[in-house]
Amino acid sequence: MALLPILHYPDERLHRVAAPVGDINDRIRQLVRDMAETMYAAPGIGLAATQVDVHEQVIVIDLSETRDRLQVFINPVILERRGEAEFEEGCLSVPGIYETVTRANWIRAEAFDAQGQRFTLEADGLLAVCIQHEMDHLQGRVFVEYLSRLKQSRIVAKLKKNQRRAL
């Protein structure tokens, strides 16, 4: 297994649109294992392939406290959305920034697992938020892009300052 480097906003590669996975084969299963290791190490509760500079539709999520309930979504599609909820979100590609975003509070989604089995799932609360946040990554969208231009430029300035401090 390998820890993969995570791209940081405003890296242009975070804006690439991910292609559907054609064949769920050993290469994709290795990518899933590496993404899971990277997410657990960060630590985070989700990760999209876009964030590790792989532009294919693969997401991993684990909301469990025991960190042993990995959920894999390959070629995910949202079939239905209901309601609205505000949630404070974070992002491994925007370290140290937490902002409130409004999203659907209930979704029905379809995806393939790492064995190539299609499944559907209904989600609410944090799981619904996390799936939507990760699916946005696959579309090249980062959560801070829901905020005002002023907030976005303040966030970019803060991230650059933090990067300079870390050198």
Q: Do 57 and 74 form a contact (C-beta atoms < 8 A)?
A: yes
H-state helical runs in the chain? 26-41, 125-138, 149-166
Under a CB-based contact definition with an 8 Å cutoff, are residues 14 and 91 in contact? no
SS3 152: helix
Catalytically annotated residue among 37, 88, 134, 145: 134
**Between 24 and 32, CB nearer to Zn ion:** 32
Is there a contact between 25 and 115 (Cβ–Cβ < 8 Å)? Answer: no
The item of Zn ion, ligand K1U, none sharing an interface with residue 56, based on CB under 5 to 8 Å by kind, is none
Q: Shortest distance, CB of residue 89 to ligand K1U, whole angstroms?
A: 4
- The binding site for ligand K1U (CB under 6 A) comprises 43-47, 51, 89-93, 129-130, 133-134
The structure tokens 């993404």 sit at 35
Residue number of the CB closest to ligand K1U reads 44
Q: Which does 76 bind (CB under 5 to 8 A by kind): Zn ion, ligand K1U, none?
A: none
Nearer to ligand K1U, 75 or 93 (CB): 93
Q: How far is the CB of 51 from ligand K1U (least distance, A)?
A: 6
Binding site for Zn ion (CB under 5 A): 91
Examine the residue annotation and report whether 134 is marked as an active-site residue of this protein: yes
* Distance from C-alpha of 114 to C-alpha of 129, rounded to nearest angstrom: 22
Closer CB to ligand K1U, residue 57 or residue 93? 93
Query: 159-162 long-range CB contacts below 8 Å, 24 or more apart?
Result: 159/8, 159/9, 159/10, 159/94, 159/95, 159/96, 159/97, 162/95, 162/96
Complex with ligand K1U: residue 56 or 89, whichever CB lies closer: 89
Give catalytic residues, as residue numbers.
Answer: 134
